[in-house]
Amino acid sequence: MKSATIYDVAERAGVSHQTVSRYLSGFEGIRPNTREKVERALAELEYKPNSAARFLRLRRTNRIGYLADRMDQSGPSRTLVGAAAAARELGYVLDIVSIDGGDEASVREALDVILQDQIAGIVLSAQTQTGRAAVEDRELSIPVARDFDLRGADGRETLNSAAGRVAAEHLVALGHRRAAYLAGPPVWTASGERRQGFSDAFIAAGGTVLVHDEGDWSARSGYEAGARLARRAGEFTAIAVANDSMAMGALAALSGAGISVPDDMSIIGTDDAPEAEYMVPSLSSVAMDFAFEGRYVVSTLVAEIEGKQPHGGLTPPTPRLIQRRSTAPIGD
């Protein structure tokens, strides 16, 4: 079916097309009775404004550059989905360019690609100091938003620090006081924040983090780290992991080493990946609302582009525990 035009709306409302145009542009001097007629006609005809034409009239672009790192991982991919949805709802389009956030040259090359066309702003999804430095060195004249250092309603801790804390509090509540921590790559700020958040909370509760290991976010690296941890399993009763992919790999390694989860060892991941519920045993995890984070970052950027109030009152939700069968009290 052909989309309705402002002329169709004007005919349905019994007003001039100039009146409809003024209404759509935000003009406040329209009489309440006329405004009501226009609004009713817009709803009945399911009118959708032509955002491209609007930006053309304003001599602005509605394109946002999105520098996407680690799209193969569950968290970044879900963040991208939320970001794309928010952009679409706000009348913008994402130009997505993949990068390696740990490689400054990769980020610079991606910027070169994005900046070949006119864009209104940039989202940097790489949670790395390398990616941040590459963007900041560019001295861009357009707004840049980042999907890291996001904080909850109280503003006291980052979401990633909170994720580590929630995992620690869960293990402490189950009676665990000796733990190992499997972190992500140190180049990622999220990895360091989750690790520190866990250690601070676990130690504050009287626990000890006896072993630290790290992987590269992948299940394979989790399996390799899990094999190393299995050889030291007598030193601790629980393992906290910085993401679910590595936790799933670690689960497989522990099983292969004859270590029963959760009878011999509890293990908790982070992210609440879709597959976590279907592992054997099902994986306890700390849920992060990545889609919301993507929406939040894009809405913040668009608000800056358009000179409006940031976020529209949005606040990223605090990470929350999803308890499943991979964690249990000591002695159960």
pLDDT (tens place) for every residue of the chain, 332 residues total: 466 777 888 898 999 877 887 777 656 567 888 888 888 888 888 876 655 445 444 446 788 888 888 877 778 888 888 888 988 888 888 888 888 888 888 888 888 888 877 788 888 877 777 777 777 777 777 888 876 677 766 668 889 999 999 999 999 999 999 999 999 998 888 899 999 999 999 999 999 999 999 999 999 999 999 999 999 999 999 999 999 999 999 999 999 999 999 999 999 999 999 999 999 999 999 999 888 888 888 888 888 888 776 655 667 788 999 999 999 998 66
Confidence at residue 267, expressed as pLDDT on a 0 to 100 scale? 98
Q: At what angle do helices 17-24 and 6-13 cross, to 10 degrees?
A: 110
Confidence at residue 313, expressed as pLDDT on a 0 to 100 scale? 61
- If you search the block for the tokens 């400054």, which residue do you land on? 104
> To which CATH superfamily is domain 57-152+291-313 assigned?
Response regulator (3.40.50.2300)
Confidence at residue 56, expressed as pLDDT on a 0 to 100 scale? 43
The kind and range of the H/E element at 11 are: helix 6-13
- If you search the block for the tokens 């011999």, which residue do you land on? 264
Write out the residue limits of the CATH 1.10.260.40 domain(s) in the chain.
6-49
Measured CA to CA, the distance from residue 305 to residue 53 in angstroms comes to 17
Architecture of domain 159-288: 3-Layer(aba) Sandwich (3.40)
Write out the residue limits of the CATH 3.40.50.2300 domain(s) in the chain.
57-152+291-313, 159-288
Confidence at residue 52, expressed as pLDDT on a 0 to 100 scale? 46
Could you please state the CATH topology (level 3) that the domain comprising 6-49 is classified under: 434 Repressor (Amino-terminal Domain) (1.10.260)
Confidence at residue 182, expressed as pLDDT on a 0 to 100 scale? 98
Confidence (pTM): 0.76
Catalogue the E-assigned strands of the chain. 63-69, 93-99, 121-124, 144-146, 178-183, 208-214, 238-241, 266-271, 284-287, 320-322
Measured CA to CA, the distance from residue 234 to residue 222 in angstroms comes to 19
Confidence at residue 57, expressed as pLDDT on a 0 to 100 scale? 45
DSSP string across 259-296: --TTTT-EEEEEE--GGGGGSSSPPEEEE--HHHHHHH
